[in-house]
Structure 1
Amino acid sequence: MLGTVISMLGASRVVVRCIDGVTRMCRIRGKMKKRVWVREGDVVIVVPWEIQDEKGDVVWRYTGPQVSWLERKGFLKNA
């Protein structure tokens, strides 16, 4: 599910507003921690947890050209 990073919390945690309208506290996966820098305003893919819907994992960060393509195609209406 797509979302926009609202704020950085530290300890590889971020607050993300998802396209379904839910604000989730997400953690950045260990695979992404050192390789991909996530900042406020970035568009990311979030996988919600099965147990707690208000939490999730960030699995991908989109680059600038990818975000503009998503906006043109209509995928980022509410994010």
Structure 2
Amino acid sequence: MGRIPGSKKKRMWIREGDVVIANPWEVQDSKADVTWKYTRPQIEWLERKGYLN
């Protein structure tokens, strides 16, 4: 379970299957803050370079 903090909330929509960077909460390991969502060209580049399987 993740949440989009602050000013990014209105600009960022997350769907199932999106690639994101999430920082887990210190008090609850089951929750996290979403800090970045990758676009399709960024995901393709990460796959080509071997960062994503």
Which range, TM-score by smaller chain? 0.7 to 0.9
Structure 1 residue runs of 4+, over 6 Å off? none
Instruction: Say what the alpha-carbon RMSD is for the aligned residues.
Output: 1.2
Whose helix proportion is higher, 1 or 2?
2
Counterpart of 1:49 in structure 2 is 25
Structure 1 gaps of 5+ residues are 1-24
Q: Per-residue CA shift, 1:35-79, capped at 9, x if unaligned?
A: 1222221111100111222211001110000001111112222xx
TM-score (normalizing by structure 2): 0.82
Which protein, 1 or 2, shows the higher relative CO under an 8 Å CA cutoff with sep ≥ 6?
Answer: 2
Structure 2 gaps of 5+ residues are none
Tell me how far apart the structure 2 counterparts of residues 36 and 52 of structure 1 sit (CA, whole Å). Answer: 23
State the percentage of identical aligned residues. Answer: 66
Tell me how far apart the structure 1 counterparts of residues 44 and 19 of structure 2 sit (CA, whole Å). Answer: 10
Whose strand proportion is higher, 1 or 2?
1
Counterpart of 1:12 in structure 2 is none
Aligned residues: 53
Counterpart of 2:11 in structure 1 is 35
TM-score (normalizing by structure 1): 0.59
